[in-house]
């Protein structure tokens, strides 16, 4: 798995702004008031060829008695426990506070490598740089003066972070799991939804300890099984991780455990509880599966407990459709793992999705489909000229990834991307994530230069004068 980098600090010091800057898009909410971020956000980033996963945490308020703020602090503590390097963000304009010192004391005890980011220094004058100096008193090593909002000092900050990452492991950057003929299935979900019971039902033996007590499974457990000629590796993930230094209420499920397992899986089986409506944790796990490009099966367990209540069944189906509409392509199966109802169907669907996960489409068929798509729904106008799609080819599998050559790769509207994705999905009957890449035609820059030879220099009026001379 990619190394983990946690961004921590007291409220309103710019953690989410830094997170968005490093991942290159706006994921975390940013407001000029404390307490906006409560849950952790995860996203992949890269610096100088080294890939890692960033964790944005809520404001760290040590010793806070308020229930909500206490939970936010525990979320941050969990991130610290699991990460490889910590970015400790402080507000250099506001100066050092007792809260900063308390956070620094906690980080020092964690024993993890820490990089101090003195944020909100919006220019690089000597006076502004000196404001960062007082944070050396925290005793956490070098202090990096920077501004996440204005993109100042990011280079030295990230150089420091990368220098503290553990030595790179073979295969840690791999996007897809190994293609060795084995089908890797991750069983993920909140605590006490029946993950271990499902694994035992598939294996037809009590391989994994089960209990009504949430958190029985502590670490991911692999089980191999032959099923209809297919070799499967089932991984039962922990619904909750309890550590001595963290209160047991810290987490309703272990998203980091799920991340680790998803990195090496073909298919994720998201297990939900029929007696509870779809909740934010379920949506977050589904989102992680989608972001990692993994095939997804949504399995609603304990369906037998509401079998007699048709109204409740319909309400659950509607809640599910709304909460997980962003993964509407994923099959949904209603089961009872305890009674073995439709357990084989879960495995059949997972095997089928694993094959689709590594699907490859013939290029001639793809380009016929492209002609059909453009004829039936002409591409929109982009930058005052028609968007032209010239060619499509599949460039990767696991998940299926398609590259489209066009004249304005940066301007393709999201609506048209969804149209192309849906047409590919419909044509090849794919119920797995699909990725699209848009590229310019090779040699476009040279053709533009030939059309406008007077602009071949540095451009502007100077270029025109050089052409006339």
Query: Residue ranges for the binding site for GTP?
Result: 9-16, 56-60, 119-122, 189-196, 236-240, 301-304
Find how far residue 263's CA is from the centre of its chain: 11
Q: Which residues pair with 115 in a beta bridge?
A: 87
The number of beta carbons lying within 10 Å of the beta carbon of residue 37 is: 24
Binding residues: 9-16, 56-60, 119-122, 189-196, 236-240, 301-304
């Amino acid at each position: 798995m990619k190394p983990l980098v946690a961004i921590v600090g007291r409220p309103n010091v710019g953690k989410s702004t830094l997170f968005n800057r490093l991942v290159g898009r706006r994921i975390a909410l940013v407001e000029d008031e404390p307490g906006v971020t409560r849950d952790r956000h995860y996203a992949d980033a890269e610096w100088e060829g080294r890939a890692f996963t960033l964790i944005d945490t809520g404001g760290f308020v040590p010793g806070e008695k308020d229930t909500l703020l206490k939970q936010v602090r525990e979320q941050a503590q969990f991130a610290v426990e699991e990460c490889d390097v910590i970015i400790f963000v402080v507000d250099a304009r506001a100066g050092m506070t007792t809260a900063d010192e308390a956070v620094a004391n906690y980080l020092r005890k964690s024993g993890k490598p820490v990089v101090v980011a003195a944020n909100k220094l919006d220019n690089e004058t000597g006076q502004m740089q000196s404001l960062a100096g007082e944070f050396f008193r925290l005793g956490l090593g070098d202090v990096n003066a920077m501004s996440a909002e204005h993109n100042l000092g990011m280079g030295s900050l990230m150089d420091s972070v990368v220098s503290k990452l553990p030595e790179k492991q073979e295969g840690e950057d791999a996007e897809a799991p190994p293609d060795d003929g084995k089908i890797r299935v991750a069983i993920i979900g909140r605590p006490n939804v029946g993950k271990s019971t499902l694994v035992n039902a598939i294996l037809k033996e009590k391989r994994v300890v089960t209990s009504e007590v949430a958190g029985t499974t502590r670490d991911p457990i692999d089980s191999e099984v032959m099923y209809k000629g297919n070799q499967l590796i089932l991984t039962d993930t922990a619904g909750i991780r309890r550590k001595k230094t963290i209160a047991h209420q810290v987490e309703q499920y272990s998203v980091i455990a799920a991340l680790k397992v998803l990195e090496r899986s073909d298919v994720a089986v998201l297990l939900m509880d029929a007696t509870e409506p779809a909740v934010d944790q379920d949506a977050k796990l589904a989102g992680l599966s989608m972001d990692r490009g993994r095939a997804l099966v949504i399995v609603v367990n304990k369906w037998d407990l509401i079998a007699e209540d048709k109204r409740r069944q319909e309400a659950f189906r509607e809640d599910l459709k709304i909460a997980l509409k962003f993964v509407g392509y994923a099959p949904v199966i209603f089961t009872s793992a305890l009674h073995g109802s439709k357990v084989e169907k879960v495995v059949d669907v997972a095997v089928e999705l694993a094959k689709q996960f590594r699907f490859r489409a013939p290029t001639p068929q793809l380009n016929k489909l492209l002609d059909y798509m453009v004829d039936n729904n002409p591409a929109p106008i982009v930058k005052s000229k028609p968007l032209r799609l010239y060619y499509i080819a599949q460039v990767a599998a696991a998940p299926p990834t398609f590259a489209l050559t066009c004249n304005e790769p940066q301007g393709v509207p999201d609506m048209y991307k969804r149209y192309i994705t849906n047409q590919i999905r419909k044509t090849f009957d794919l119920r797995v994530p699909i990725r699209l890449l848009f590229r310019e035609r090779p040699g476009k820059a040279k053709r533009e230069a030939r059309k406008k030879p007077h602009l071949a220099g540095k451009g502007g009026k100077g270029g025109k004068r050089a052409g006339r001379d």
